[in-house]
Amino acid sequence: MKKKKTVFIEGQITSSFIGNAIAKHQTKTQIGAHNIFLGQVRKDKIEDKTVKAIDFSCYQEMADQKLDIIREETFEKYDLTCMHIYHSLGKVEVGEVCLFVFVSAPHRPQVYEATEYIVNRVKEEVPIFGKEIFEDASYQWKTNV
Amino acid sequence: MKKKKTVFIEGQITSSFIGNAIAKHQTKTQIGAHNIFLGQVRKDKIEDKTVKAIDFSCYQEMADQKLDIIREETFEKYDLTCMHIYHSLGKVEVGEVCLFVFVSAPHRPQVYEATEYIVNRVKEEVPIFGKEIFEDASYQWKTNV
Amino acid sequence: MKVIYFGKIADVTKKTVEEIELQDKNVKSLITFLNEKYAINLSEMQIAVNQNLVSKSELLELKDTDEVAILSAFAGG
Amino acid sequence: MKVIYFGKIADVTKKTVEEIELQDKNVKSLITFLNEKYAINLSEMQIAVNQNLVSKSELLELKDTDEVAILSAFAGG
């Protein structure tokens, strides 16, 4: 049976978590190229309000299924040694990382495109919802456009 | 006067160095997307020999100039908030990271291509030399083809 | 039929799960129900049946054993 | 004229810097010198004058104040 991947992380994805993930790949000596995408919560201004944090939630059963499909189809499409996707749930403050996509391959040509492909599919297909919380404690629901 | 950038690092680029670099960008709240490329020394087999490490050296005055040009032209070409390039000098063992390119922008569309552009130019234009040291202590000079 | 709500939808309905009895058990009449009870517009919702998005114009039949979810716009990343 | 060597070139010449006297102070005769003294082929070297690569077919004049560097293939990354 396939090991269940832990994709969702409560709160921000810390820089030390990312550093550890990189360190763990040093034993995979067939790898020559890593590419990493990080989504960071931006201090957006919307009209007169300023984003302070995003509160993420998800439809977990569907999200897990969609992430499995994305993983499978990415491996079919690109020659990768490994790939990892992590996303925050709950509150992530401005400046903190909420998405971490990590792609590794023997050689570099495909790693950039593979990363972009994964990030786009995660944004479009995975049922994750985000409440943009403003500095005055009001909020609005974020949409990926 | 422009602050001199430290690009060259003695030995491997550690995962904690990379983690720290990520952490430092959390105060830049206009950033929404980071893309990171890492070059890792691969355990290549060349005929019957196995690579154990690469010993890097460079023509520093020329390398610094070329890196300045690459930085400048990347900023002209892509809408980035910041970018960093780090490369190892001296001995880097198999599994260790020798190149770290870090690109950040408000939005994600250009970060992948900008990273690829920088990595390609670093490999083609910066006078860095590498001795591939085999497990039997013999060596050969690496070439980027 | 059990229907689950996510994101902005759950915010509007003020619940995350609801037992709904429809005359015609299909997607169309579920949309009508949501529109009438909560004033949720078609454009604001996506419908997943057993974890797969379905077309909102479909007359797809819904079974009591189906997992039916009403989702607002995705916002991951 | 001072010439500096890098990478495999320095490995072959067994030095990193050398004072060279050429009859004709230009790129062509420098290449000839390196080929005769060290058997370094044209295809194995790149020539930088004042930190910029120059064409190896050029008859570019070299001044004593120029920084002339002979480089092997680049291998960064």
Q: How far is CA A72 from the centre of its chain?
A: 16
Run of H or E residues at B124: helix B111-125
Which residues of chain C are within 8 Å of residue A40 when distances are taken between CB atoms?
none
Interval B122-135: pLDDT, tens: 999 999 999 999 99
- In this complex, the residue of A61, A65, A123 whose CB is nearest that of residue C76 is A123
Interval C18-31: pLDDT, tens: 999 999 999 999 99
- In this complex, the residue of B19, B25, B111 whose CB is nearest that of residue A19 is B19
Mean pLDDT over A102-112 rounds to 97
Could you give the angle at which helices B15-24 and A15-24 cross, rounded to 10 degrees?
150
Percentages (nearest 5) of helix, strand, coil residues in chain D: 25, 25, 45
ipTM: 0.94
Interval A26-42: pLDDT, tens: 999 999 999 999 999 99
For the sheet with C46-49, list strands across it: C17-19, C2-5, C68-71, C46-49, C52-54
Q: List all residues of chain A from 86 to 105 with a beta carbon under 8 Å from chain C.
A: 87, 98-99
* Window from A117-126, B105-114, D3-12, D58-67 with minimum mean pLDDT: D58-67
Asked, for residue B114, whether it belongs to a domain, the answer is yes
Mean pLDDT over B85-96 rounds to 98
Euclidean distance between CA atoms A73 and A84, whole angstroms: 13
Interface test with C, best of A97, A116, A140, A141 (most C CBs within 10 A): A141
Whichever domain contains D49, its CATH number is 3.10.20.30
- pLDDT above 70: residue A1: no
Give start and end residues of each alpha helix (H) in A1-145. Answer: 15-24, 60-77, 111-125
Residue type for position B52: K
- In this complex, the residue of B99, B119, B124 whose CB is nearest that of residue D74 is B124
Asked, for residue C64, whether it belongs to a domain, the answer is yes
Which residues of chain A are within 8 Å of residue C73 when distances are taken between CB atoms?
129, 141-144
Q: Would the CB atoms of A37 and B33 count as touching at under 8 Å?
A: yes
Q: What is chain B's mean pLDDT, rounded? A: 95
Which residues of chain A are within 8 Å of residue B33 when distances are taken between CB atoms?
37-40
Asked, for residue C20, whether it belongs to a domain, the answer is yes
- In total, how many domains does chain A have? 1
Mean pLDDT over B32-36 rounds to 98
On the 0-12 / 13-18 / 19+ scale of CB atoms within 10 A, C67 is middle
Dihedrals phi, psi of C63, to nearest 5 degrees? -100, 155
Asked, for residue C77, whether it belongs to a domain, the answer is no
- Convert A5-41 to b/e letters by CB count within 10 Å (16 or more is b): eebbbeebbbbeebbebbbebbebbebbbbbbbbbbb
Interval D2-44: pLDDT, tens: 999 999 999 999 999 999 999 999 999 999 999 999 999 899 9
Going by pLDDT thresholds of 50, 70 and 90, the confidence category of residue A16 is very high
Q: Would the CB atoms of B129 and D72 count as touching at under 8 Å?
A: yes
CA distance B3 to chain D (A): 21
Which residues of chain B are within 8 Å of residue A113 when distances are taken between CB atoms?
112
Dihedrals phi, psi of A66, to nearest 5 degrees? -65, -40
Give me the pLDDT at residue C5, please. 98
Between the CA atoms of A7, A14, A121 and B42, what dihedral angle is there, to the nearest 10 degrees? -90
- pLDDT above 60: residue B57: yes
- In total, how many domains does chain D have? 1
Mean pLDDT over B50-74 rounds to 97
Residue type for position C43: S
Interval A87-105: pLDDT, tens: 999 999 999 999 999 999 9
Chain A neighbors (3+ CB pairs < 8 Å) = B, C
Give the dihedral sign, CA C39/C41/C44/C47.
Answer: positive
Q: Are B129 and D6 in contact (CB under 8 A)?
A: yes
Which residues of chain B are within 8 Å of residue A112 when distances are taken between CB atoms?
35, 37, 112-113, 115-116
* Window from A92-106, B12-26, C4-18, D44-58 with minimum mean pLDDT: D44-58
- pLDDT above 70: residue B76: yes
Q: Would the CB atoms of B36 and A32 count as touching at under 8 Å?
A: no
Give me the pLDDT at residue B51, please. 98
Domain of residue A55, residue span:
8-141
Give me the pLDDT at residue A3, please. 54
Q: Are D37 and D19 in contact (CB under 8 A)?
A: no
Closest chain D residue to the Cα of B132, Cα to Cα: D75
- pLDDT above 60: residue A6: yes
Asked, for residue B119, whether it belongs to a domain, the answer is yes
Going by pLDDT thresholds of 50, 70 and 90, the confidence category of residue A51 is very high
Closest chain B residue to the Cα of A18, Cα to Cα: B19
Asked, for residue B53, whether it belongs to a domain, the answer is yes
D69–chain B Cβ distance below 8 A for any pair: yes
Asked, for residue B1, whether it belongs to a domain, the answer is no
Mean pLDDT over B31-48 rounds to 96
Going by pLDDT thresholds of 50, 70 and 90, the confidence category of residue B144 is confident
CA distance B68 to chain A (A): 23
% residues pLDDT > 70 (chain B)? 96
Euclidean distance between CA atoms A141 and A129, whole angstroms: 8
B26–chain A Cβ distance below 8 A for any pair: yes
Mean pLDDT over B35-62 rounds to 97
Interval A114-139: pLDDT, tens: 999 999 999 999 999 999 999 999 99
Going by pLDDT thresholds of 50, 70 and 90, the confidence category of residue B3 is low
Give me the pLDDT at residue B1, please. 44
Nearest to B24 by CA among D41, A38, A47, A61: A38
Run of H or E residues at A58: strand A49-58
- In this complex, the residue of B61, B62, B123 whose CB is nearest that of residue D76 is B123
Which residues of chain B are within 8 Å of residue A43 when distances are taken between CB atoms?
29-30
Euclidean distance between CA atoms B125 and B74, whole angstroms: 14
Which residues of chain A are within 8 Å of residue C75 when distances are taken between CB atoms?
54, 56, 128-130, 141-144
Euclidean distance between CA atoms B132 and B143, whole angstroms: 10
Asked, for residue D77, whether it belongs to a domain, the answer is no
- In this complex, the residue of A57, A119, A141 whose CB is nearest that of residue C77 is A119
Q: List all residues of chain A from 71 to 130 with a beta carbon under 8 Å from chain B.
A: 94-97, 106, 108, 111-113, 115-116, 119
Whichever domain contains A61, its CATH number is 3.90.1170.40
A127–chain C Cβ distance below 8 A for any pair: yes
Mean pLDDT over B90-109 rounds to 98
Give me the pLDDT at residue A119, please. 98
Closest chain D residue to the Cα of B145, Cα to Cα: D75
Q: Are A39 and A120 in contact (CB under 8 A)?
A: no
DSSP, residue by residue, C34-73? HHHHH---GGG-EEEETTEEE-TT---B--TTS-EEEE--
Domain of residue C16, residue span:
2-71
Asked, for residue A36, whether it belongs to a domain, the answer is yes
